[in-house]
């Protein structure tokens, strides 16, 4: 099977560099344009189903894309949600550094060993998201499918495919509305075909989106 992993379009909190986690932020104007820009590179491909995180920014991206691909069904899966960022949701880096110094130190040095105060750890995120991917694979073994998700969620999935430890997750970048494509072959397991593709985001709709976690 072929599985497109797409990150949602931009939100105001992305621009403000606030930790979104499971806070339900909608797409902004640029985010809507980015979602529409996902349609041309995927149009004409034999995609059968679009999956999405249940969070608004992913659902809106998925709905815009699915409508643009001829009204494909969108199926929500809460396991595709972003890392639950607990007590730091809505904060910017300076606030986290001041209020959660111990967490921030571990997060910057060994993110795979850190637990967000009041939230999740990356291993927990990876486990639930990977379970969703495997279920999608089993449900659509010979199909081409889309899953719209989030920065850290997709990053941990790509780490799994590449065999990277989660402490190395910053080697992978994920911009807003980026395209990733992974393929499952029983003889080879999962492989990455495309990662963080951005060519479709022209005309000034590429988010700067420097990594801040």
Residues with active-site annotation: 8, 82
Token pair belonging to 11: 């939100």
DSSP 52-74: E-SSHHHHHHHHHHHHHTTS--E
Measured between alpha carbons, how far is 206 from 179 in angstroms, rounded to an integer?
A: 13
Token pair belonging to 20: 């979104």
Opening angle at CA 195, ends 91 and 75, nearest 5: 70
Token pair belonging to 14: 């992305």
DSSP state of 165: -
Report the C-alpha dihedral over residues 74, 57, 144, 201, rounded to 10 degrees.
140
Strands of the sheet containing 2-7, edge to edge, are 74-76, 47-52, 144-149, 2-7, 179-185, 189-197
Measured between alpha carbons, how far is 52 from 200 in angstroms, rounded to an integer?
A: 20
Rg (the chain; Cα; Å): 16
């Amino acid at each position: 099977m072929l599985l497109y992993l797409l990150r949602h379009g931009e939100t105001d909190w992305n621009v403000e560099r606030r930790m979104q986690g499971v806070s339900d932020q909608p797409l902004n104007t640029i985010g809507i344009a980015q979602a529409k820009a996902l349609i041309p590179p995927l149009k004409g491909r034999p995609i059968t189903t679009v999956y999405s995180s249940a969070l608004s920014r992913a659902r809106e991206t998925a709905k815009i894309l699915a409508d643009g691909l001829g009204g494909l069904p969108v199926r929500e899966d809460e396991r595709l949600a972003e890392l639950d960022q607990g007590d730091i949701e809505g904060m910017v880096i300076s606030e986290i550094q001041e209020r959660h110094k111990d967490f921030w130190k571990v997060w910057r040095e060994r993110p795979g060993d850190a637990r967000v105060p009041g939230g999740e750890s990356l291993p927990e995120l990876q486990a639930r998201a990977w379970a969703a991917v495997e279920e999608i694979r089993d449900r659509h073994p010979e199909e081409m499918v889309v899953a719209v998700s989030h920065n850290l969620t997709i990053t941990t999935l790509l780490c799994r495919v590449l065999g990277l430890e989660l402490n190395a997750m910053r080697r992978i970048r994920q911009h807003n509305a980026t395209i990733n494509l992974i393929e499952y072959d029983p003889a080879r397991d999962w492989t990455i075909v495309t990662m963080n593709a951005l060519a479709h985001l022209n005309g000034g709709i590429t988010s700067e989106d420097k990594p801040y976690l």
